[in-house]
A and B are shown apart, each in its own frame.
Chain A
Amino acid sequence: MNTETTNVPDQPATAKRHPAKAVLLAILKRPQSAFGLIVIVAMVLAAVLAPWIVPYDPNDQMFDGLSLEGAPLPPSAKFWLGTDLLGRDLFSRLVLGTQTSLIIGVLANGIAVVLGATVGIVAGYFGGVVAAVLMRITDLMMAFPALLLAIVLAAIFKPSLLIVALVIAMVNWVQMARVVYTETRSMAQRDFIEVQRAMGASAPRILIRHILPHLIYSIIVFGTLGISTTVLLEATLSYLGVGVQPPTPSWGNIIFENQTYFANAPWLVFFPGLAIVLLALSFNLLGDALRDALDPKLKGRH
């Protein structure tokens, strides 16, 4: 992989196609990451095909969804994962919750990645005062109790899907900024960048054409791991009642709505909890495998 680094900046398109296949192979060869990839693909399919998958309307408070005493029903052939306190089908709500989790995961993480990478690359390339100011801001964010900040932000703004995503992004961009900053800084001092600068290439051109292609691997790895953090944060905010608002189902707010009854109806906490863990775990396993496959520096430590 070291020998090809000189090719990457000039022909990123041709240089990328080949490793992509190798990376996919490396992911599938390891049972953990293959498992992660399968779970992610399955959940994406479930989210996309949700209208055709759900056996019941997720918001329908069914008369036969509660016992005669008015208690939620445990899992059965009719209601695969049981029903909730209002007699709604839990499986249908979980499938719709998958949509919520993935939309916020991708949206929030997308914003965080773009923001973090931009801050990191600008600070790393220009250095000096720009870097000092931007990196002090990341110091500040690192010292902020992240969840507390997110809760306060979410409580201030009336939570909608977009606001929740923005709040999570505000808390999550810092790590990416740090990683990209460190890599850009070492890159900016290399000879081939020096040559471009001497030839009169503009800063945006150098950043986008020559530095960004080298950062792509780190961005992919930390972007993947970041989705896991995002999913967990969304679930926690929704659990506290300041995230995604009912009746829009989210795995977190399903637990929030039903937790008072968990001693009698544990499935109402267990299944949504399992869904959260599975999705977050899968992105972690995938990110870890990507790191090993993409970053030759870390090889041999595992």
Chain B
Amino acid sequence: MWSYLIRRLIEAALILLGISLVTFVLLYLVPADPARQIAGRSATAETVANIRAQLGLDQPFHIQYVRYLGNLLQGDLGRSYLQRTEVSELIAARMPATLLLMLAAIVVELIVGLTIGAVAALRRNTPVDHGLMVFSFVTISAPQFVVGILLLYVFAVQLGWFPIGGYGTFAHLVLPAVTIGLLGTGWYSRMMRSSMIDVLAQDFVRTARAKGLGRMRIILRHVGPNAILPIIAMIGIDIGLFMSGIVVVESVFGWPGIGQLAWQAIQRVDIPIIMGVTLVSAFFIVLGNLLADLIAPMVDPRIKLK
């Protein structure tokens, strides 16, 4: 167990190192000149050169990267080119909003996804099952910006039940959380359906039925928990899906999280912020995968650590 954990931690660290390198190379290639952008259009060539030297942009690539990495290890993500603030502070200030959205989205997808999957499994091969499975396919086939804009149109513009965007109250949270959660709903409902079908076919369910237990009791007490456990272990992997969605969804709803921060930074070529958000997202994805790999064997002893 311990050697496995240590090996996985080293692997995770190497992956993060690789991601920092790839991102750095990509952003090194950006044709737009950040120094020129900071200086403004009317600045002289001398001013631009000064700013470039100040930011270390005139140094060769490997020196820039090593310096970046050195700072990174001390928790320093650099300074925003345009906002003159520490990137770590900008991200930290926006993290609570993103985490709140993530939590709400996970609640939505678990409740909706598991319910759909369970009902589909119990009504297997009936029109109900087919309908629900088509629905789950629709949810994974709908781009989040389309879902978001349509939800806004129906529930905010037409019905006026929720605000059109922004942040602050529970009402603000509902539509973005549903938009993100809907995508996960498709995956969870399919996993839950096949997990339920597996469990329903096992001997202990037949035993419970033979003992004369009621149908509801069997499903809620015996089948449900056994079917849900292996799926709970997958939540970690879900974080990757979530992190990919926040840029779009936070932009559509004006949600002040790190996705919106990244999107604004991309438009202004504010490279330290883009790097920072990419690394933080990757960190969460790696952490999520690690947790999933560690939790799965605890939940289901048949899975062996290797």
Q: A151-B266, A156-B26 given as contacts; is B146 within 8 A of A276 (CB)?
A: yes
Give the interface centre of A145, A146, A155 by most chain B CB atoms within 10 Å.
A145
- Which chain B residues border A146 with CB–CB below 8 Å? 240, 244
Q: How far is the CA of A252 from the CA of B143 in the complex (A)?
A: 10
Q: Report yes or no: A284 in contact with B143, Cβ–Cβ below 8 A.
A: no
Q: Report yes or no: A144 in contact with B146, Cβ–Cβ below 8 A.
A: no
- Which chain A residues border B31 with CB–CB below 8 Å? 156
Does B77 sit within 8 A of A, measured CB to CB?
Answer: no
Partner of B134, one of A32, A140, A147, A151: A32
- Return the chain B residue nearest A285 by Cβ: B137
Q: Report yes or no: B19 in contact with A140, Cβ–Cβ below 8 A.
A: yes
Which A125-143 residues have C-beta < 8 A from chain B? 136, 139-140, 142-143
Partner of B274, one of A152, A228, A262, A276: A152
Nearest-CB distance from A65 to chain B (Å)?
Answer: 22
Nearest-CB distance from A102 to chain B (Å)?
Answer: 16
Which B26-50 residues have C-beta < 8 A from chain A? 26-27, 29-31
Does A269 sit within 8 A of B, measured CB to CB?
Answer: yes
Nearest-CB distance from A83 to chain B (Å)?
Answer: 19
Does A266 sit within 8 A of B, measured CB to CB?
Answer: yes
Q: Report yes or no: B146 in contact with A277, Cβ–Cβ below 8 A.
A: yes
Q: A145-B281, A148-B277, A156-B31 given as contacts; is B137 within 8 A of A281 (CB)?
A: yes
* Residue count of chain A within 8 Å CB distance of chain B: 42
Interface of B is mostly: helix
Q: How far is the CA of A237 from the CA of B148 in the complex (A)?
A: 15
Partner of B19, one of A31, A144, A262, A288: A144
Which A228-248 residues have C-beta < 8 A from chain B? 228, 232, 235-236, 239-240, 242
Q: How far is the CA of A100 from the CA of B193 in the complex (A)?
A: 36
Does A177 sit within 8 A of B, measured CB to CB?
Answer: no
Interface of A is mostly: helix
Does A218 sit within 8 A of B, measured CB to CB?
Answer: no
Q: Report yes or no: A280 in contact with B278, Cβ–Cβ below 8 A.
A: no
- Which chain B residues border A31 with CB–CB below 8 Å? 130
- Which chain B residues border A262 with CB–CB below 8 Å? 149, 152-153
- Which chain A residues border B18 with CB–CB below 8 Å? 136, 140
- Return the chain A residue nearest B278 by Cβ: A148
Q: Report yes or no: A239 in contact with B145, Cβ–Cβ below 8 A.
A: yes
Q: A140-B22, A143-B285 given as contacts; is B146 within 8 A of A255 (CB)?
A: yes
Partner of A269, one of B22, B150, B251, B263: B150
- Which chain B residues border A284 with CB–CB below 8 Å? 137, 140-141
Q: Report yes or no: A143 in contact with B143, Cβ–Cβ below 8 A.
A: no
Q: Report yes or no: B137 in contact with A236, Cβ–Cβ below 8 A.
A: no
- Which chain A residues border B30 with CB–CB below 8 Å? 155-156
Partner of A301, one of B130, B137, B197: B197
Does A153 sit within 8 A of B, measured CB to CB?
Answer: yes
- Which chain A residues border B282 with CB–CB below 8 Å? 143-145
- Which chain A residues border B141 with CB–CB below 8 Å? 228, 232, 277, 280-281, 284
- Chain A interface (Cβ < 8 Å from any Cβ of B): 31-32, 136, 139-140, 142-149, 151-153, 155-156, 228, 232, 235-236, 239-240, 242, 252, 255, 259, 262-263, 266, 269-270, 273, 276-277, 280-281, 284-285, 288, 301
Closest 9 CB pairs of A and B: A273-B146, A281-B141, A280-B141, A145-B281, A147-B244, A145-B243, A140-B18, A263-B157, A277-B142
Known pairs A152-B26, A270-B150, A273-B143 / 19 extra A-B pairs, C-beta < 8 Å: A139-B11, A142-B240, A143-B15, A143-B240, A145-B243, A145-B244, A146-B244, A152-B274, A155-B30, A232-B143, A239-B248, A252-B143, A255-B145, A255-B146, A255-B149, A259-B149, A262-B152, A277-B142, A285-B134
